[in-house]
Amino acid sequence: MKNRVKQFVAPTLIVALFSAAGLVMAQQAPKPETLIKVRQSAFQVVAWNSTRIKASLEGTYNKEDVIKSANAIAAIANSGLGSLFAAGTETGKGWHETSAKAEVFSNGARFAELGANFGKEANELASVALSGDANLVKNQYGKLTSTCKACHNDFKSKD
Amino acid sequence: MKNRVKQFVAPTLIVALFSAAGLVMAQQAPKPETLIKVRQSAFQVVAWNSTRIKASLEGTYNKEDVIKSANAIAAIANSGLGSLFAAGTETGKGWHETSAKAEVFSNGARFAELGANFGKEANELASVALSGDANLVKNQYGKLTSTCKACHNDFKSKD
């Protein structure tokens, strides 16, 4: 009888343990819609700070404002945005339906390469911003936005 | 005759110039819904990076991951979030209806004070993260999240 109980209990325990493990994993792994929402938010903040730098370059140059915005863009670019495009997030809704093209997931190496270019130029802009030299900043800002455009052309849907 | 032409042209020119200035201002001043959308995005990115630091503290500590997340939070905290709560954004929809309470706008001094606390502790966390000492990071992370809670209690609606 004890053996029969053991035989009954053991698989139940194993199932229970696996279920618990599954539950823990489910709690830790972010939902696809969360990842999509966070990446949409991150690029929104990048775009906002890009607009602020542009306003400084086209209007009255504000050194402190440009430094703050360039730092925000660089820190977000360095924060590991690639992980927000995890498998399972090919389609779905964050704040809105994802704008990521299928190529993000089918050509991950190229997407990562363009992401690295974005990070490199963003870091350089944060460095150049410290000089307060509007011409240097304008030149580097152009390099940064060209990395944005390159990635959008290949990996972001237009609608 | 020349004088009459001048009298006619001059006010017209002034009106035209003011209109052009108005147009430029209209182009430069962001819409309230843009400001609301950007602040909602910024706090979403802050929350995401906070979650990543928490995961490191509660699971396997990843020094580089914590540094990246702490830098992102600090750079956003330093980027001038207060300007996203400009007059005219008391109500309205960004990604969703604003969660800002009326007190943000009626008690701006206290809101700014709590915002400065957030920035201070975020900068300190970015600094402490470089040590890779999980206990120090845990302690400072607690200080940072207490500034989040303090502000949410007074200035963010629950629903």
The gap between the terminal CA atoms of chain A, to the nearest Å, is 67
B29 → chain A, closest CA residue: A55
What gap in Å lies between CA A140 and CA A144, rounded to an integer? 6
The total of other beta-carbon atoms located within 10 Å of residue B140's CB is 22
For chain B, give every domain's residue range: 1-30, 31-155
pLDDT of A49: 98
A24 → chain B, closest CA residue: B59
**Distances, alpha carbon B67 to alpha carbons A19, B120, B129, B131, in Å:** 33, 16, 5, 9
What gap in Å lies between CA B15 and CA B66, rounded to an integer? 56
Q: Which of A44, A55, A59 sits opposite B38 (nearest CB)?
A: A44
Using an 8 Å Cβ cutoff, are A80 and B68 in contact?
Answer: yes
Residue A148 at interface with chain B, using a CB cutoff of 8 Å: no
Query: Collapsing DSSP states into helix, strand and coil, what is residue A5?
Result: helix
| A31-155 CATH fold | Four Helix Bundle (Hemerythrin (Met), subunit A) (1.20.120)
| A72:B71 CB<8 A | no
Task: State mean pLDDT over A41-63.
Answer: 98
Q: Which pLDDT band, with edges at 50, 70 and 90, does A12 fall under?
A: very low
Which of B44, B63, B96 should one mutate to test binding to chain A, selecting the residue with the greatest count of A CBs within 10 A? B44
Residue B55 at interface with chain A, using a CB cutoff of 8 Å: yes
- Given a cut of 60, whether residue A7 has pLDDT beyond it is no
pLDDT of B28: 64
- Given a cut of 80, whether residue A79 has pLDDT beyond it is yes
On chain A, the residues whose CB falls within 8 A of the CB of B30 are: 51
A42 → chain B, closest CA residue: B45
Q: What is the pLDDT along chain B (159 residues), one digit of tens a residue?
A: 344 444 444 444 444 444 444 444 445 689 999 999 999 999 999 999 999 999 999 999 999 999 999 999 999 999 999 999 999 999 999 999 999 999 999 999 999 999 999 999 999 999 999 999 999 999 999 999 999 999 999 999 986
State pLDDT tens for residues A98-128.
999 999 999 999 999 999 999 999 999 999 9
Using an 8 Å Cβ cutoff, are B133 and B57 in contact?
Answer: no
